[in-house]
Amino acid sequence: MKILLENIKLLVQTEDYPVLFRAGEEMSRLTNIPNAFLIIRDEIIEEFGPMEHLKDVYMDDDLLIEIDCSDRLVYPSYCDSHTHLVYPGSREKEFVDRISGLSYEEIAKRGGGILNSAKLLHEKSEQELYNSAMERVIEIIKMGTGAVEIKSGYGLNTKDELKMLRVIRWLRETTPLCIRATFLGAHAIPAEFKNRKSDYVDLVINEMIPQVAGEDLADFIDVFCDRGFFSVEDTERILMAGIKYGLKPKIHANELGKTGGVQAGVKYGAISVDHLEHMGKDEIDALKNTETMPTVLPGAAFFLNMKLSPVREMINAGLPVALASDYNPGSSPSGNMSFISSLGCIKYNMLPEEVINATTINSAYAMGISDRLGSVARGKTANLFITSEIPGIEYIPYSFGSNLIETVILNGEVQTL
Q: Summarize the annotated binding site for Zn(2+) as residue ranges.
A: 82, 84, 252, 326
* In the complex, least distance from residue 150 CB atom to Fe ion, rounded to whole angstroms: 11
Residue nearest to Fe ion (CB): 326
Q: How far apart are CA 205 and CA 183, in angstroms?
A: 12
- 283 vs 326, which CB is nearer to Fe ion? 326
CB-nearer residue toward ligand NIG: 81 or 383: 81
- Provide, rounded to whole angstroms, the least separation between the CB of residue 84 and Fe ion: 6
Closer residue to ligand NIG in complex, CB, 182/328: 328
What is the closest distance, in whole angstroms, from the C-beta atom of residue 326 to Fe ion in the complex? 5
- State the Cα–Cα distance between residues 354 and 26, nearest whole angstrom: 8
Which of 226, 353 has the CB closer to ligand NIG?
226
Residues that bind ligand NIG (CB under 6 A): 84, 113-114, 117, 224, 252, 255, 300, 326, 328-331
| Residue from 149, 277, 283, 326 in contact with Fe ion (CB under 5 A) | 326
Task: Write out the binding residues for 4-imidazolone-5-propanoate.
Answer: 91, 154, 187, 255, 331
Among ligand NIG, Fe ion, none, residue 354 binds (CB under 5-8 Å by kind): none
**Which residues contribute to the annotated binding site?**
82, 84, 91, 154, 187, 252, 255, 326, 328, 330-331
Would you give the distance in Å from CA 111 to the centre of its chain? 27
Residue 113 binds which entry of ligand NIG, Fe ion, none, CB below 5-8 Å type-dependent: ligand NIG
Contacts of 110 (CB under 8 A, 6+ apart): none
Kindly tell me which of 104 and 170 has the beta carbon lying closer to ligand NIG: 104
Q: In what order do the strands lie in the sheet with 322-323?
A: 78-83, 145-151, 178-186, 220-225, 248-253, 272-275, 293-296, 322-323
Cβ closest to ligand NIG, residue 37 vs residue 78: 78
3-state secondary structure 118-171: HHHHHHCCHHHHHHHHHHHHHHHHHCCEEEEEEECCCCCCHHHHHHHHHHHHHH
The alpha carbon of residue 383 and the mean position of all alpha carbons in its chain are separated, in whole angstroms, by 15
Q: Does 226 bind Fe ion (CB under 5 A)?
A: no
Q: How many residues bind Fe ion (CB under 5 A)?
A: 1
Choosing among ligand NIG, Fe ion, none, which partner's interface includes residue 146 (Cβ < 5 to 8 Å by kind)? Answer: none
Amino acid letter for position 166: R
Asked if residue 261 lies in contact with residue 252, where contact means CB atoms within 8 angstroms, the answer is: yes
Q: How far is the CB of 408 from Fe ion (least distance, A)?
A: 25
CB-based contacts of 121, cutoff 8 Å, min separation 6:
87, 88, 129, 154, 155, 160, 163, 164
Which of ligand NIG, Fe ion, none does residue 255 bind (CB under 5 to 8 Å by kind)? ligand NIG
CA distance linking residue 51 with residue 147, whole number of Å: 29
Sort 114 into a burial class: Cβ within 10 Å, 0-12 / 13-18 / 19+: buried
How far apart are alpha carbons 57 and 333 in whole angstroms? Answer: 45
Bind-site residues for Fe(3+): 82, 84, 252, 326
From the list ligand NIG, Fe ion, none, partner contacted by residue 300 (C-beta under 5 to 8 A by kind):
ligand NIG
Query: Residue 209: which of 169, 159, 163, 245 has the closest Cα?
Result: 245
In the complex, the smallest distance separating the C-beta of residue 283 from ligand NIG, rounded to whole angstroms, is 17
Q: Which residues bind Fe ion (CB under 5 A)?
A: 326
